[in-house]
Each structure stands twice: as structure tokens, then as C-alpha cells.
Amino acid sequence: MSNNITTINPTNGETLDTYALMSSGEAKQVVDACYEAFLEWRLESLESRAKMVKAIGQALQKHKEALADLMVKEMGKLPDQARQEVDLCTGICDYTAEHGPKKLADEERQPGNGERGFVTYSPMGVIYGIQPWNFPAYQVVRYSIANLMAGNGVLLKHAENVTGSGLLLEKIYREAGLPENVFRTLVISHDVSDEVIGHSAVRGVTLTGSDGAGRKVAAKAAEHLKKTVLELGSNDAYLVLDDADLDLAVETCVQGRVYNGGQTCVAAKRFVVTEKNYDAFKQRYVARMQALTAGDPNQKGSDLGPMARVDLRDALHKQVEESVSKGAKILCGGEKPSGKGAFYPVTVLDNVTPGQPAYDDELFGPVAALIRAKDDEDAMRIANDSRYGLGGGIISKDVKRATELASKYFDTGMVFINGFGVATPEMPFGGVKDSGYGREHGGFGMLEFVNAKSVIVVKE
């Protein structure tokens, strides 16, 4: 096994940088240092922590262009979308700074066995985050800022292909004034990562990734009785109901499939269209998708960049081939390009049925699966016919009925009505079933890794 990580530009296949992996001993030193820093950080007032979180948001803006440029180089994101990602990160910092002190404040209670009592949300210790490459800044900010606000120390193991982004974020946090070692990036192998999970100072583990990775990390954490939060993959269904506005449906479903190159956990992936609209939707949708161009993200006219890595592109193509071998039909795209880079064409599959990867699994790239439903009720059945449950969407002119379907029947963590969305600081983010458990954003993430401690004064 190599002792280094080499990052590759997926647009041209060129080497970006090489990083030395930390040894087991070096990683342990970082964990120990983070714990020592936590012992001081936990004593900072909520207002002081909020001020620091706000400062991190400002520092992210100061380094926006450098961070965005690195994301473009490391994983092929379009520059505008990279800048939007940094803005979202700052929005998370601002929201957390504003609402954190109230969310984490002590709560007065009247106990039955004493004169007075209160609940205090005590920091737990060091929280270890294992994060993916698709949103190199956002994925880190999402869990780290909530836990810094809660008073925890934070460790990051970023995806290997965005190692540079992880190290730059550590530098930005430090520059903002965060005390040394409160947030650290670990450049480590999977074996050393397992050792970090087992370290006594690590009190919680959060992972964003595939359901396969989630099972492994959750099992390892369970061996040591560590709490976990898992935000895993999905094959989100977007329902085009009988009364849908087809212009809006096509626009939403195109954007929902190709945003971030289709490499988004909460992307629209299965398009469940009722019999009434299926043929018209298919014709217009394929025409719009076919017109999109995958190219160098820095070149004008590129609607999406390459996929993040060649091996991920090749795995996606195998899923397409297997789906076709089991009856799916390619309406556009579906051919793996030759040449440099990790490019894959925008692809639409028809005749998608159970048993095909396009129906059962997550296609993490610009491949759309069209599924025909008899009617609205059948569309909802198909949407829920999945082991996943992260997000989803409903396109309908009857918003009242759509919201009722979303709240009562859609078995998923997030539902978008008449539009596509990714994440917002004000609303909880997370899923059910094989899409994981726990919530981030909306104040919920700040309470995932705290000790809700009862303090009861029996007698004054």
C-alpha cells in the first residue's frame, strides 16, 4: 500500500499534488491534541463560540476564490457552483451563530424530586467526521460548525481526492481565530481511520457516503459504543403527477439530475411520471438533456464538468450497461468517452424496472431513470419502492394535495414541491431507511453530539 495520497484533476488527468499519509502514531497525536484543545474550548461561552463561528464564515468568504478554484481542480465542479457552495457554507455559519446560543441554552425544568432543575447541553468530546468529495467544503462545514458551536473538538477525514480542500479548510478555520487543534484534518488510511474511531477521546462519528460505507463505519463505532450520524446515498424519486405543469416538470427534473454533475446524494434520480404525461414529458425531457454538454468546467459552454474520478465514471457506466442488459433502453448518451478525464455524457434511460441498477441503486452521475406510473397513487407507490429515503420531489398544480402527500405518504427525509433543492441552513437534512439516520441543519445538528444532562437541586 502506498504511503502517499495523490490527487488528480478529473478534467485532464494531470497530477495536482501528493500528500504523505499520517502513521498510526501521528494520527493518535492529532487526536490527543484535539482532545486537549477541546478541554479548553468546551469552557467557552455560547456567545463566544457563536462569535468564532461567525468569524469562520467571514474567513470562508475571504478565501472564496481559492477554495472554489481548488474544488474545480480536485473534483471537476463548475466554478459558479463552487462559489455557491462557499456562500452556502457562510450561510450555515451565520445561521449557527445567530441561533446556536438559544438552541444550546440551559432549559429550566421543575422536577418531581427536587426544588428546581435544568437541562444543560454539555459538549461530548471529540467528534470524528468522515466526508465525501462531492461537496468538498459544504460537507465539512455542515457537521463541523454545528459541533464547534456545541463545544466539541472536531476531526476530519476527507475523501482522498479532495485532500487539499480538507487541509485548506483547516487553515481557514485557524486563520479565523479558532484555537489550535480544535479542528484538525487527518490524512490517513482506512485502517488508521478505524483506530481513530476506537480512540477513547472520540465520542461520536458522523459519515456522509454510500450505504455500504455507512454499514462498515456504524459497525466499527458500535464495537466501541460510539454514537453515529449517517447521511448516506439515495435514488430520490421525483413524481410528475397528472396535473403537473410540464414546463416546470421538465425544468425541475433537468436541473435536479445534472446539478453538480449529478453527483449529489439528494439529487433527483428516478423520474416517476404518470401515464397521462409520460410520452410528452419523455420527448421534452430527452431533448433538453441531450442538449447539455459535459466539458472543461473552466470553459464557457460547459453545462457540467467531468465526474470526480475515472473509476467512479467507469462504475456508473457498468450500472448503465447492466440496466440495459436487463431491459432498459438508452434514449440519449450511454457511451463511455475515450480520451483524458473522467467525462460521462448526460444519459436518459427508459423502460426502467425493478431488478435494474437504474431502479434499485444509486446512479451517482448524470444518468436519469424514467419510470412510467399508472396514476398518482401508483407514482407514490413506486417512489416508496426503494430501500433508500433521503429526498424526493412532487410536481403538481394542487400544492395543498402535494404537501399532504409529502407529509403523510412520502417515506423520505426531505420532499421538494414544484422545484429542486439541495440544502438550506434553516431546514433539517437527513434521511430514513438505507439513507441513514440523524439530522443536520435547522438546529438539529447542534444537538446530535451533546450530553443532555439533568441537573436537579433537591434542596436549596
Task: Give me the domain span that covers residue 184.
Answer: 4-232+435-457
Q: Distance between CA atoms of 259 and 78, rounded to whole angstroms? A: 9
Q: Which residues pair with 415 in a beta bridge?
A: none
Does 265 qualify as catalytic in the annotation?
yes
The secondary structure of 335-397 as a DSSP string is -PPPSSS-----EEEES--TTSHHHHS---SSEEEEEEESSHHHHHHHHHSSS--S-EEEE-S
Q: Distance between CA atoms of 225 and 203, rounded to whole angstroms? A: 9
Please pick, among 160, 170, 231, 448, the residue that the annotation labels catalytic.
231
Does residue 340 sit in the same domain as residue 449? Answer: no
- Is 179 within a domain? yes
- Is 324 within a domain? yes
Domain count of the chain?
2
Please pick, among 34, 253, 265, 332, the residue that the annotation labels catalytic.
265
b or e along 428-441 (b: 16 or more beta carbons within 10 Å of the residue's beta carbon)?
bbbbebbbbbbbbb
Q: Distance between CA atoms of 329 and 93, rounded to whole angstroms? A: 45
Does residue 413 sit in the same domain as residue 446? Answer: no
- Is 65 within a domain? yes
pTM for the whole structure:
0.97
Does 332 qualify as catalytic in the annotation?
no
Does residue 416 sit in the same domain as residue 377? Answer: yes
User: What is the 3-state composition of the chain as percent helix, strand, coil, each rounded to the nearest 5?
Assistant: 45, 20, 35
Does residue 228 sit in the same domain as residue 256? Answer: no
The x, y and z cell numbers of residue 195, run together, are: 483506530
- Is 430 within a domain? no
Q: State the maximum Cα–Cα separation within the chain, in Å, rounded to a whole number.
A: 77
Local structure of residue 243 (DSSP, 8 states): T
Does residue 183 sit in the same domain as residue 263? Answer: no
Encode the chain (460 residues) as per-residue pLDDT tens digits: 679 999 999 999 999 999 999 999 999 999 999 999 999 999 999 999 999 999 999 999 999 999 999 999 999 999 999 999 999 999 999 999 999 999 999 999 999 998 999 999 999 999 999 999 999 999 999 999 999 999 999 999 999 999 999 999 999 999 999 999 999 999 999 999 999 999 999 999 999 999 999 999 999 999 999 999 999 999 999 999 999 999 999 999 999 999 999 999 999 999 999 999 999 999 999 999 999 999 999 999 999 999 999 999 999 999 999 999 999 999 999 999 999 999 999 999 999 999 999 999 999 999 999 999 999 999 999 999 999 999 999 999 999 999 999 999 999 999 999 999 989 999 999 999 999 999 999 999 999 999 999 999 999 9
